[in-house]
Amino acid sequence: MSKEKNKYQSRRDFVRKAGKLAVILPLALIPVALVKKTSAAGFVWQIDPFKCTQCGQCKTNCVLTPSASKCVHAFQMCGYCDLCGGYLRQGVKTISTGAENQLCPTGAITRKFVEEPYFEYTINEALCDGCAKCVKGCADFGNGSLYMQIRHDKCVNCNDCSIARTCPSDAIIRVPAGSPYLQKDKEKNNG
């Protein structure tokens, strides 16, 4: 009787040990398989301004409200035009800072006179909601100096960026955390 009981115990032990081995093995194999695919620094999300089509989904699809992706101005690229496609609505009667003339729905772009005939445009980031209307205007009629970037003081760096999921031109990519911005003027000069 007692011998039989022992046998029973040992079979159970065998199953237990085999099971334990069966779960430990894959767990041990995962780091081995990922040795070459692991990086210590990590990644953040960023918009490739050369792929961006200014569709406006950044504004609506970010998990944050307002969106963490905002308009950035590359001053070095700007033409400082009086008739700015990013600042003024199409077909305005007068070129002025009147609210009815502004393209930006939140009035986040400020226009400042520099010298005849140049005007400087700056983005007030606190007001910008990432609708990309000015970016589209600037790309269509100007130098393309306005572009979208994900601001990392706002971005919570989701595991799976919800804008990236819907971005139709796959412009949102993972970039190394060490160089978290794809600045249009710098990228262009490099390339």
Partner 1 sequence: MVDRLFQKREFQIRMKKTLPYIIFVLLLCWHAVLFAQDRFPRPEFESGYVYATNQMPLQRAPGWEYFDVAVLLGALTLTTWLALKKRSRQGLIWMSVFSLAYFGFYREGCICAVGSVQNVALALFNDGYTIPLSALLFFMIPLLFALAYGRVFCAGVCPLGAIQELTGFQPVKLPKKIEAVLASVPFIYLALAVLFASTDSQFIICRYDPFIGIFRLDAPYTMIIFGILLLLAGIFVNRPYCRYLCPYGVLLNVFSRFAGKHLTITPAECTNCRLCEEVCPYDAIIPSDSELNREEPAKPRKRFILYFLLIPVFAVTGAAIFYTLAPSLAGVNSNVSLARAIRSEKESGIESVSKAVIAFKESGKTEAQLFAEEATITDRFRKSSPWAGVFLGISLGIGMLSLTIRSKRIEYLPDQGKCYSCGRCFKYCPIKVQ
CB of 156 to partner 1, least distance (A): 6
What is the rounded (10 degree) CA torsion for 29, 30, 33, 36? -140
Residues in contact with partner 1 by the rule CB under 8 A: 12, 16, 19-20, 23-24, 27, 30-31, 33-34, 37-44, 51, 53, 55-57, 63-65, 72-81, 114-115, 118, 120, 122, 139, 141-144, 151-153, 155-160, 162, 165-170, 174, 177-178, 180-181, 183
- Rounded to a whole number of angstroms, the minimum distance from the CB of residue 42 to partner 1 is 4
Contact 99, 180 (CB under 8 A): no
Q: With respect to partner 1, which residue has the nearer C-beta, 40 or 99?
A: 40
Whichever of 96 and 169 has its CB closer to partner 1, that residue is 169
As a whole number of angstroms, the distance between CA 157 and CA 64 comes to 11
Q: Closer to partner 1 at the Cβ: 73 or 133? A: 73
State the nearest-atom distance from the C-beta of 88 to partner 1, in Å: 15
CB of 10 to partner 1, least distance (A): 14
CB nearer to partner 1: pick between 31 and 191: 31
Query: Beta strand pairing status for 146-150 and 118-123?
Result: unpaired
Query: Do residues 151 and 68 make contact, with C-beta atoms less than 8 angstroms apart?
Result: yes
HEC string for 44-103:
EEEECCCCCCCCCHHHHHCCCCCCCEEEEECCCCCCCCCCCCCCECCCCCCCCCCHHHEC
